[in-house]
Amino acid sequence: MLEGFVAGEPGDKHELRTETKELQARLMGQQQLLREKKLPVLVLIEGWAAAGKGSLIKELISEMDPRFYNVVSPAILPERETRYPFLYPYATEIPENGKVVFLDSGWMESTVRKAMKMEISKGEYKRRVRAVNEFERQLRDGGYLVLKIFMHIDKKEQFERLKELSENADTEWRVNPDDLWQHREYKRFLKAYDDFMDETGEAAPWHVVDGKHRKTAVRDTLKLLVGEIDRGLERGRYNGEPFEEKFPLLEMPLLKDVDLSVQISDEDYKRELKKLQKRLGELHNILYRRKIPVILCYEGWDAAGKGGNIRRVAYPLDPRGVDVKPIASPEPHELNRQYLWRFWTRLPRSGHICIFDRTWYGRVMVERLEGFCTEKDWKRAYNEINEFERQLTEWGAVVLKFWIHIDSDTQLARFTDRQNTPEKQWKITDEDWRNREKWPQYEEAVDEMIQKTSTEYAPWFIIESNDKKYARIKALQIIVKALEEACENHFENSFE
């Protein structure tokens, strides 16, 4: 898209100014409509160093109401300093419904620049391109308007700009060695940007804006933005269709075929618990130092024993490196964003362990059954989640998912016990009884979930928990084994 691009002429000054003012006024008017239609808009501004991204954004927002937009400038950190997946700085900053976020450079610049510096391999580059496409599609399908703009200037113009900045004492510090290096490598960068744009236009197309004349660039971008928002408003929130994609799925049993009679003796339990917890503590030390992130997902029937199971896993871990995240129903500011946002923001830093007490799978269970999302939404979610978890494992995370399983009689017995024991009464609510009535529907949903999302890289484990002690030992065994493998693999793949 950039090769052979010919810069335009500035055109009539007065006309330009009138047009710009008009467009700014229209944008201001659109804010209210965006709010009414709950349409979120993500504007990604990429481009050459010194192309004027900052001053462009300044003009875009100049008439907007600060309640309705946000400007985000994610720093591009050296690879060794990032402790999160590479999409993290963007995924955590997506707008709320009805609002606009301007990203002052984002996933394009970070991916291309790191590839050019050879901080990431070709394989990693490809994975990132794929993840970007997934990310953009998920946002679009979730109702987001994603607008991607590239501010283009040619090599000569970049030279002038860098020179101008360098010669002024107040702005000289803005030119960093990376920018000068980009200028020297202009041709190679041109190709790299072009390639990236070719590879990432599926869900949201790229728009190249001619950056040569600043005022024309503002007008052109405004025109683009106002036009796209108009179209978005007319179309309304898009709700994507479910899509097919091949994931390496494991064969999993249906819940009804699971033998729940398995047990463990008190003696074996104590011995195993001690042994496994000791080993887990040791492994945590290693993981922490090797900066391997670990994500443990707990789902299960009410009263299945999730809490007690989690406590046995967390106990031997250094509290400074582990976080148990209980997931309740979403708060208003969470409901107002794509459903994975509240999990992106809760991801552990590399080297830390995060235990989710309930997870993103609420989408295909409670939200599906209670009608909190559309049918398309939850049907799309299986593969969206597979993608999300693939991104996590490609970042280097160990992802393990547990379904803590009991039968309906055991649940009834535990509910009754809770009801009759004063200290436990708070644990049982009317909602639990209501959910219990929907056992068959839930079982169907859980079976479908386990069949569709048990991937090789992020497997489900059905944990028989009629005997809670058996369940704890089984979960600990699985975790210890997986972490031992991760430590081995990591060791082999690393440069140490």
Instruction: Give residues in contact with its own copies (CB under 8 A).
Output: 29, 32, 54, 57-58, 61-63, 65-67, 71, 73, 102, 104, 170-171, 173, 282, 285-286, 289, 307, 310-311, 314-320, 323-326, 328, 331-333, 355, 357, 423, 426
> Which lies closer to its own copies via its Cβ, residue 274 or residue 311?
311
> Which lies closer to its own copies via its Cβ, residue 323 or residue 443?
323
Cα pseudo-dihedral 361, 366, 367, 371, rounded to 10 = 160
Distance of closest approach, residue 147 Cβ to its own copies, in angstroms: 17
> Cα separation of 13 and 97, whole Å?
37
> Which lies closer to its own copies via its Cβ, residue 227 or residue 326?
326
Distance of closest approach, residue 255 Cβ to its own copies, in angstroms: 26
Say which amino acid occupies 86: F
> Which lies closer to its own copies via its Cβ, residue 147 or residue 317?
317
Residue 274: Cβ within 10 Å count = 11
> Which lies closer to its own copies via its Cβ, residue 295 or residue 324?
324
> Cα separation of 463 and 299, whole Å?
10
> Cα separation of 300 and 422, whole Å?
24
> Cα separation of 172 and 165, whole Å?
5
> What DSSP line would sit under 77-102, residue for residue?
--GGG--S-TTHHHHTTPPPTT-EEE
Distance of closest approach, residue 465 Cβ to its own copies, in angstroms: 18
Contact between residue 325 and residue 355 where contact means Cβ atoms under 8 Å apart: yes
Burial 347-363 (b: 16+ CB within 10 A, else e): bbebbbbbbbbbbbbbb
> Which lies closer to its own copies via its Cβ, residue 260 or residue 286?
286
Distance of closest approach, residue 99 Cβ to its own copies, in angstroms: 11
Q: What crossing angle do the helices spanning 122-141 and 375-395 adopt, rounded to 10°?
A: 160
User: Helix or strand or coil: residue 246?
Assistant: coil
Contact between residue 217 and residue 210 where contact means Cβ atoms under 8 Å apart: yes
Distance of closest approach, residue 104 Cβ to its own copies, in angstroms: 6
Distance of closest approach, residue 59 Cβ to its own copies, in angstroms: 9
> Sign of dihedral through CA atoms 413, 414, 416, 420?
positive
Distance of closest approach, residue 437 Cβ to its own copies, in angstroms: 24
> Which lies closer to its own copies via its Cβ, residue 172 or residue 202?
172
> Which lies closer to its own copies via its Cβ, residue 35 or residue 237?
35
Distance of closest approach, residue 67 Cβ to its own copies, in angstroms: 4
